[in-house]
Structures are given as structure tokens and as C-alpha cells.
Amino acid sequence: MLDITKQSLSELIKNIKNKKLSSTEVTKAFVERSEKSKELNAYVTEDFSAAIDKAKKFDENPNLDLKLPGIPMAVKDLFCTKNVKTTAGSKILNNFIPTYESTVTQNIWNEGAILLGKLNCDEFAMGSSNETSFFGCVQNPIDKDLVPGGSSGGSSSAVAAQLTPITIGTDTGGSIRQPASFTGIVGLKPTYGSCSRYGIVAFASSLDQAGPMAQNVRDCALLHEVISSYDEKDSTSIDFKRNNYVRELTNNIKGKKIGIPKEYRVDAMPKEIEDLWKKGIDYVKDCGAEIIDISLPHTNYALPTYYIVAPAEASSNLARYDGVKYGFRADGENLIDMYEKTRSEGFGAEVQRRIMIGTYVLSSGYYDAYYLKAQKVRKLIKNDFDEAYKKVDAILTPSTPSSAFKIGEKTNDPVSMYLNDIFTVPVNLAGLPGISIPAGHDAKGYPLGLQIIGKAFDEQNILNIAYAMEEKINFKNKITDWWIK
């Protein structure tokens, strides 16, 4: 048998069900590896001894009919976990201990999984490199001093480094797919309304979605099946019949029509990404799918639209952090002074920047010129996809315009950081599902991802295409455990 931490989620489940492994053995193995991997800074909060206790308890009377029987799992620190500190990567929530559980994490525990700890992320999920976290940046296990992507950077690093068999992240503009691409793993952003937002620290409520990050497509499908549910506690949760995503997983994609949007051939895209995309096209052709050239004419307007809509919603969502009800409080001479100091000391630079942008675009005299304009362009972007989906079943694009960059490389230039999300942001604006799968390496040996975008609620289809491509690509992540002394 392979080393425990080298096994995929599906293998671990099989071994626990066959009683070849106990939950305690599996949990201890991931705890040990996590303890040896502190240099990656993937965890904000470790809950290791409680995890081992829960695993022992599971083994006393194991329910092997569950979907995640006794599987240890660390989750992004944006999900509220009852009685376990939840920081959103921010100083302002550094002492926040939720008294309730997010719906998606509750769904995971209901299927038998065990919380290992909380994973680092960009502050309030605002970032593309995990460098905006109050708890410091995270190392990409691919190479030292390389960002793991963001905002779910602790999550991508932890899955790639095998500190957790699988995890969940959140994706507002690419925060699952971009870090998955940077670390050579699979990441799915589900359709808006598929997974409940209840108990997830809010960033931009019309865009935020939780989703799985995994070592392979099958594991990803399984976790998606667990977390996707209708929830009356989230008024935007949608009541539709969810698939049995694993049972219906197939590599037969014969006759599927796959669109290639010409607008995604952006200026200055490295040739190796262009080549990877072509290879991806060949793979799906080999599987019997049909390639169709399509146009998404408003692609270039997606990022400017996003940088109005997301900060506007964030400025409103983050108004709640006032030093009164929970979180950090700074001393002030009076109430207003206390508010202003609390928010100035409690939020980091990127969060303050986005609150200011959002406040400005919503302020009197500018609302029509910015916010309303952005909502109109968002409609045009969604119309582009609606038109395209009259002709195709899914769309294939690169996940990111580059491979992972060095820590510190883009921190002084917010716009160049934002450009990282050029291929992922349109998907959030249109509320569609998108999956990133590892598809190759660049000249430096860093992983590169391809993205498959689906119709709303058609996760099964993009999972199937990803599954068929995965088999052809046969990707192997190059990880040397350099951080383990």
C-alpha cells in the first residue's frame, strides 16, 4: 500500500471501508505530515489533537455507509466552524470564535469527515497570491518563494503538499481555480446558488461560491456532491435536483461541442500557455468531442466590471466590522474615532483599498457612472455566454495567463495582480460553473491549468470533460518535499 498521505481521497475511503486503514491511522498520518510542514504556513489554526480524538471515536463505532467515513480534512479559514477560531485571514477577526457552523462544512461533517484545521487565505479572500493574509504568505510546495495563488492559497498548498487529502475553498473571481492551477491540482467553482453561502465570511455576495479542491477529478466530484445542497438559510441558494456526481462520472464525451473563445487569446500570453491550450483542444478531439470557434465579445470588460462590482459589495459587507459586536477593537476618544481606528488598524492595505473603491463607486454622484454601468456590462457579459451556449455544451480556456509567480513580485502593482484573474472572473460574473485541471508544466517546471466552463447547473458535464481530459493528460505533479528537513 502507498504511504497514507500519498493516497487520493477515493483510495483512502476504499481502504477505510475495507478496514485496511482506520480513521485514526489516516488522521495521524496527515497530522504528522502537517506538523513537519510548518514552513509552508498553510495553516492558520491547527485542531490536530481534537481531530485525533474524533478519529478514535469514529473507529469505535464506524459508520462506513457515509461518503467521507473518518476522513480528516482541513478547510479554508473563511468557513465558520463552531467553537474553532475563524479569521478570514484578517487581524480584525483574529479572536473570533463562531457559535455556529457554515452549511457546507456541516454537510462535510455530516458525511463523516473530521476537521484537521483552518487554512490560510488572502484577507477576506481579497487577493491572488495569499500575500494579503494577516498571518503571512504561504509557500507553494512546487518551489520555495513561489506564491500558491489566492485567495485559497493555504488550501491549494495543503492539497498539493498532501497535508490534507482534499479541501474546500471559495471563489469570487478565481480564488479556487487560479491557486489550483498554480499548484497542479483540480479546483471547481460551482454554479452560483449551488452551494450555500450561509456561514461563509462574505466578500462579494453576488459572486461568492464555495467549491472543492482535490488531487483528481473523481475526488473533486465526490466532495462537490457532499457540499452542494439547497439551504433555506441562504436566500440565493437554488432548489434544483442535484446529480449523483460520482456515479454519473464518465469519460465518454463523444459528440460534445466544446467552444474555443477567440477573445481569450490575450496579448502577451506566454507561448507555452498558447501551446497548452492547443494540446487541450487535441485531447478533447481525441475523446470524440467537436471543437467550435466562438466569440465572447465583452471578455475584455470583465475585469474592470469585476473591480467595481466586487469592491462595492465588499464595502457594504465589511461595514459590519466596527469593533462593537465581535472582532478586534482599537481604543478611541469617542465612538466615531473608535470605528475609524478599529478599521484602520484591523484591516490590511488591500482590504482598505477595496473598501475605498467600493465606497467611492457607490457614493452619491458616482453610482450611475460606475456601479450601474458595471451592472449593465455584467449583463452584456452574461449575454455573451448565453449566446455561446446556444452552439456549444462547454468552453475550454487556459485557467491563468501565467504560471505561479514569486512572492513579492506583484505586490506593488495592484492592477498587474488583478490581471491574473482575467480568464476566471467572467465565469463568476455570469454565475457559471468552471473547473481548472492541471494540464502541463512550463519551462521552469511549474504547473499550468486548463479551465472548462459549463452551462449553469451543468457541473456534471464539465466534470465529465475534465475526467476524460485528465486520463489523456496523465499529469504528474513535481513535488520534492523540499520544506521537510
Partner 1 sequence: MIVCDIFNYHMSIDLKTIKHISKLSRISVDEKKAEKLAGDLNSIFEFIEKLNELKTDNVQPLTSVAETTLKLRDDQVKSKNLREQIIKNSPQENEDYFVVPKVIE
In angstroms, give the least distance from the CB of 260 to partner 1.
Answer: 24
Please select the residue that binds partner 1; options are 143, 340, 409, 442, rule is CB under 8 A: 340
Choose the stretch contacting partner 1; rule: CB under 8 A; options: 58-66, 182-190, 250-258, 303-311: 303-311
Burial zone of 187 (CB within 10 Å; 0-12 exposed, 13-18 middle, 19+ buried): buried
Cell reading at 350: 488591500
Position 235 contacts partner 1 (CB under 8 A): yes
- C-alpha distances (whole Å) from 23 to each of 34, 43, 53 are 16, 21, 10
Please select the residue that binds partner 1; options are 46, 56, 242, 304, rule is CB under 8 A: 304
Cell reading at 219: 475526488
Position 480 contacts partner 1 (CB under 8 A): no
In angstroms, give the least distance from the CB of 359 to partner 1.
Answer: 5
Within residues 450-469, the interface with partner 1 by CB under 8 A covers 456
Backbone torsions φ then ψ of 292, nearest 5 degrees: -130, 125
Please select the residue that binds partner 1; options are 53, 145, 239, 275, rule is CB under 8 A: 239
- Count Cβ atoms below 10 Å from residue 108 Cβ, excluding itself: 27
Q: Which amino acid is at 299?
A: T
Show the site string, 281-300: x = touches partner 1 by CB under 8 A, - = not: -----------------x-x
Position 365 contacts partner 1 (CB under 8 A): yes
In angstroms, give the least distance from the CB of 33 to partner 1.
Answer: 32
In angstroms, give the least distance from the CB of 129 to partner 1.
Answer: 16
Position 341 contacts partner 1 (CB under 8 A): yes
For 180-207, give the secondary structure using H, E and C.
HHHHCCEEEECCCCCCCCCCECCCCCCC
Choose the stretch contacting partner 1; rule: CB under 8 A; options: 15-23, 177-185, 229-237, 477-485: 229-237
Position 96 contacts partner 1 (CB under 8 A): yes
Whether residue 465 contacts residue 258, with contact meaning beta carbons closer than 8 Å, is answered with: yes
Please select the residue that binds partner 1; options are 60, 336, 443, 485, rule is CB under 8 A: 336
In angstroms, give the least distance from the CB of 105 to partner 1.
Answer: 18
Give the DSSP per-residue string, 442-479. Answer: -TTS-EEEEEEEE-TT-HHHHHHHHHHHHHHH------
162 dihedral zone (left: phi>0; alpha: psi -120 to 50; beta): left
Rounded to whole angstroms, the Cα distance separating 13 from 218 reads 12
Within residues 187-226, the interface with partner 1 by CB under 8 A covers 192-193, 206
Within residues 376-415, the interface with partner 1 by CB under 8 A covers 376-380, 382, 413-415
Please select the residue that binds partner 1; options are 232, 274, 293, 387, rule is CB under 8 A: 232
Whether residue 206 contacts residue 173, with contact meaning beta carbons closer than 8 Å, is answered with: no
Q: Are strands 114-119 and 290-294 parallel, antiparallel or unpaired?
A: unpaired
Position 182 contacts partner 1 (CB under 8 A): no
Position 242 contacts partner 1 (CB under 8 A): no
Active site residues: 76, 151, 175
